[in-house]
Amino acid sequence: MSSIYFIALPLLFGFATPIFAKFGKNGIAYSSVLLQASLFLLSIQLFVTMDKSIIEVIAIAPPLGIALILDNVSIFFVMLFTFLVLMGSLYYLKLREKNPYQNEAKFFILINMLLASAIGLVLSSDIFNIYVFFEIAGISAYILSAYRKTPKALEAGLKYLITGAIASIFLVFAIALIYLHLGTLNLALISQGFTALESDIKLLISLFLLIGFGLKVEIFPLNFWVTDIYEGSDAFTDAFFSAVVVKAYLFVFFHIVYLFLPHKEFTLFLLYLGAVSMLIAEIVALRQTNLKRLFAYSSLGQVGLLFVAFSMQEAVSITAGLYILLAHSLAKMVIFLSLASLFEKYKKEDISLFKEMNSPFLRNIIIISMLSLLGIPLLAGFVGKFLLLKSIAFSGLFVLLGLLVLASLIESVYYFKIIGFMFSKEERGEKFSLSTLQRAVLLTLTLGIILIGIAPFLISDFIATASSVMIDVRSYQNLLLGAN
């Protein structure tokens, strides 16, 4: 089997939507879910059968052409993304009965395009190809966030689009400079030639890459737009933004950092940028009352944490980063999906929603997710957090350690404020129960959180390999160039 299916099939599905739409109202929905399920199974099958990295050549072998590289770390992301998108789609199957999107076919196309582009970002080994997927992901996300066509949603879409456009200008600028000075677009060749460049040009390229990707990965001075987007968009789409899109950008960004710019100074800068990002986001979140915005801040904080983890450039910290990423994706998926149902039911997005909420099931899984985000032991978040703190301490960055711990403490303030609301003794609203399918989806995700927390050794081998592959620039270069 080939990794190209992860991209080609969703695209095909997208182009072929009018045909599927002929099968009635549910045809498109079920076929979309079927597609995602088969992609997920495919990824599992690839994972099981894969004994070494698979390089998928498109048209012409690298370094001249584009190749998709499926190694231990990208299969992790592929599995994660397909799984999350599948879960989200399954959830939507029921959500649409109450609150459907207008012109649903387009909605499913967007979700699939998002999936394809996220996977493309992760797999691609060509920087211009990455730019193309960057744009596909971007444009799908813009439309998704404006989909409801309310003033808020449109504002969010516009803001997202404008910042995205600026990001892509800087990214193209960086790619142009890279091509002009190195004559190649292949990541491996660039990484070989990059160190030999003039320092000024290196600076310019890294600055433009930082701005281009930084705007998308939501790092501190460049994340001014994020919260508005989350607030304006539907909670359901926020789930994808937070759990899938950002993660794909993040992986690409750090993949590029490892390949091009493994300077100690630069990564140290990123390290503190991440810590500051986390701290600021958590502090701002303290006073937030809009739930979507609140969890957007929380996402920003977690991205800061991930930034710290990946900037450490050690196998252990990357392992930690992957654990955190996994835990965060699962938890945010649970939270935003639940919020989507809750908003629809109680017609409010305020934090006091949780006082009114009357659904023990949702309460419990949201609490578990939030505790996992806080890094409570026996839940998924702890493993990563502990490994990260450990590797920070081993590097002697104790100030950073303090900053992160402080940020975590502040984070716990508003999480527990919310949990406190859930236990409030005020009068509850109507009893609210989800359909079986939705429960099953949320339960699956939550069980994932608990399982990883209790038995991290189930996946620890895999993740450790993934992280060592991710940081191993040399073997990536060999893989990509050796195929020639």
Partner 1 sequence: MIEGILEYLNQTEVIKTIVILGSMGLFFVGLFGLLSQRHIIKVFISIGIMEIAVFILFIGLSFQKGLTAPMLGDAHTSFVQMNDPIPHAMILTAIVIGMAVLALGISFAIEYYKLTGKNRLDQMNEMKH
Partner 2 sequence: MNIKRDISTTTLSSFTLSAFFVLTVLSILLQNIPQKLFSAGDSLLKLNSDQGVANAVTTVVVYFRGFDTLGEIAVLFIASFGIGLMLTSQTHGDKNKVKSNFMLQLGARLLFPIIILFGVYVMTFGHLSVGGGFQGGVIIASAVLLMFVSSNHFHLSHRVVEVLETFAGISYVMIGLIGLIVVDSFLGNFLPHNISQLGLLLSGGIVPIIYIIIGIKVGSEMSLIVQNMLQRSDND
Partner 3 sequence: MRIINTLLAFLSLALLLSFWQDNFSFYVDLALLGLHGVVVGVKTSALSNVFALLIGFSWLMVSIASFASKKNTHSTLFLWLPILSLALFLIVYTVDYLLFFVGWEVMSIVSYFILAPTLTPKALLKYILFAMASALALLMGIVILYSGAETLLYIDANHGFTLLSQQMKMILVLLMLFAFFVKIGAIGFHYWLVDSYAQADDLFTTYLSAVLSKMGIYGLIIFLTQVVDIYSLDWKILAYTIAIIGVTTSVIATFKAIKEDELKRLLAYSSIAQLGYIVTILAIAGGMGGVLYHALIHTLVKLLLFINIASIIALTNRSKLSQLGGLIYRTPHSFVLLLIGIIVLAGMPPLAGFASKYLVYTSLLDAKMLLILSAVMFASVSGFLYVYKLIYGIYLGHPTHKSLESVDEVSKWYLIPQYIIALLLVIIGAFPALIVPTLNTVLVQLHVAPIPFETSTILESPLGAYNGFVVMSAFAVIFVLVLFFVWRVKSKAKNVKNRFDIAYCGEEPTSATPLHYGYGMGQELQRVGFIAIIWKQSSASFYNALTLMLFSLSTRLRKVYTGNLASNFNWLIIFAIFLLCWGLE
CA 82 to chain centre: 12
- Asked if 190 and 184 touch (Cβ cutoff 8 Å), the reply is yes
- Residue 15 or 398 with smaller CB distance to partner 2: 15
User: Taking Cα atoms as reference points, which of 331, 326, 298, 277 lies closest to residue 417?
Assistant: 298
From the list partner 2, partner 3, partner 1, none, partner contacted by residue 351 (C-beta under 5 to 8 A by kind): none
What is the smallest separation between the CB atom of 214 and partner 1, expressed in angstroms? Answer: 17
From the list partner 2, partner 1, partner 3, none, partner contacted by residue 481 (C-beta under 5 to 8 A by kind): none
- Residue 71 or 218 with smaller CB distance to partner 1: 218
What is the smallest separation between the CB atom of 216 and partner 3, expressed in angstroms? Answer: 13
- Residue 8 or 176 with smaller CB distance to partner 1: 176
The token pair that represents 346 in the structure block: 């109680």
Burial of 390-413, coded b for 16+ CB within 10 Å and e otherwise, reads: ebbeebebeebbebbeebbebbbe
What are the C-alpha distances in Å from 81 to residues 76, 86, 333, 365, 386?
A: 9, 8, 11, 21, 24
What are the C-alpha distances in Å from 421 to residues 353, 427, 434?
A: 9, 12, 21
- Asked if 235 and 223 touch (Cβ cutoff 8 Å), the reply is no
- Residue 1 or 409 with smaller CB distance to partner 3: 409
Q: Which stretch binds partner 1 (CB under 8 A): 93-101, 223-231, 314-322, 460-468?
A: 223-231
287 scored as a contact of partner 3 (CB under 8 A)? yes
- Residue 109 or 335 with smaller CB distance to partner 2: 109
CA 437 to chain centre: 24
The token pair that represents 351 in the structure block: 């934090």
What distance in Å separates the CA atoms of residue 270 and residue 210, rounded to the nearest whole number? 10
- Asked if 307 and 251 touch (Cβ cutoff 8 Å), the reply is no
Q: Which stretch binds partner 2 (CB under 8 A): 15-23, 240-248, 312-320, 460-468?
A: 15-23
402 scored as a contact of partner 3 (CB under 8 A)? yes
From the list partner 2, partner 3, partner 1, none, partner contacted by residue 301 (C-beta under 5 to 8 A by kind): none
408 scored as a contact of partner 3 (CB under 8 A)? yes
Q: What share of the chain is helix, strand, coil (3-state, %, to 5)?
A: 80, 5, 20
What distance in Å separates the CA atoms of residue 240 and residue 238, rounded to the nearest whole number? 5
DSSP code of residue 37: H
Strand, helix or coil for residue 290: strand
What is the smallest separation between the CB atom of 295 and partner 3, expressed in angstroms? Answer: 14
User: Taking Cα atoms as reference points, which of 213, 188, 241 lies closest to residue 55?
Assistant: 188
The token pair that represents 473 in the structure block: 């620039």
- Asked if 299 and 360 touch (Cβ cutoff 8 Å), the reply is no
Q: Length of the chain, please?
A: 484
207 scored as a contact of partner 1 (CB under 8 A)? no
Window 111 to 140, contacts with partner 2 (CB under 8 A): 113, 116-117, 120, 128-129, 132-133, 135-136, 139-140
Residues 59-88 as x/- pattern, contact with partner 2 by CB under 8 A? xx--xxxx----------------------
- Asked if 470 and 325 touch (Cβ cutoff 8 Å), the reply is no
* Given 166, 172, 440, 473, the residue binding partner 3 (CB under 8 A): 166
From the list partner 3, partner 1, partner 2, none, partner contacted by residue 59 (C-beta under 5 to 8 A by kind): partner 2
- Asked if 237 and 114 touch (Cβ cutoff 8 Å), the reply is no
Please state the φ and ψ torsions of residue 437, each to the nearest 5 degrees. Answer: -60, -45
* Given 162, 203, 393, 458, the residue binding partner 1 (CB under 8 A): 162
- Which helix (H) or strand (E) segment holds residue 70: the answer is strand 66-70
142 scored as a contact of partner 1 (CB under 8 A)? yes
Window 151 to 190, contacts with partner 2 (CB under 8 A): 179-186
Which residue carries 């989806």 as its tokens? Answer: 441
Q: Which stretch binds partner 3 (CB under 8 A): 29-37, 136-144, 253-261, 459-467?
A: 459-467
* Given 80, 187, 325, 374, the residue binding partner 3 (CB under 8 A): 374
User: Which amino acid, 265?
Assistant: E
* Given 113, 118, 123, 143, the residue binding partner 1 (CB under 8 A): 143
In sequence order, what are the beta bridge partners of 68?
56, 124
From the list partner 2, partner 1, partner 3, none, partner contacted by residue 380 (C-beta under 5 to 8 A by kind): none
Q: Which stretch binds partner 2 (CB under 8 A): 10-18, 220-228, 369-377, 435-443?
A: 10-18
What is the smallest separation between the CB atom of 128 and partner 1, expressed in angstroms? Answer: 6
Residues 198-237 as x/- pattern, contact with partner 3 by CB under 8 A? --x--xx-xx--xx---------xxxxxxxx---------
Total of residues contacting partner 3 (CB under 8 A): 68
* Given 34, 169, 413, 483, the residue binding partner 3 (CB under 8 A): 413
Q: List helix spans (H) across 67-198.
A: 72-98, 104-123, 127-146, 151-182, 187-194
261 scored as a contact of partner 3 (CB under 8 A)? no
DSSP code of residue 66: E
* Given 350, 398, 436, 482, the residue binding partner 3 (CB under 8 A): 398
What distance in Å separates the CA atoms of residue 185 and residue 72, rounded to the nearest whole number? 23
Return residues touching partner 1 (CB under 8 A). Answer: 128, 131-132, 135, 138-139, 142-143, 146, 149-152, 154-159, 161-162, 164-166, 168-169, 172-173, 175-176, 179-180, 185, 227-228, 231-232, 288-290, 293
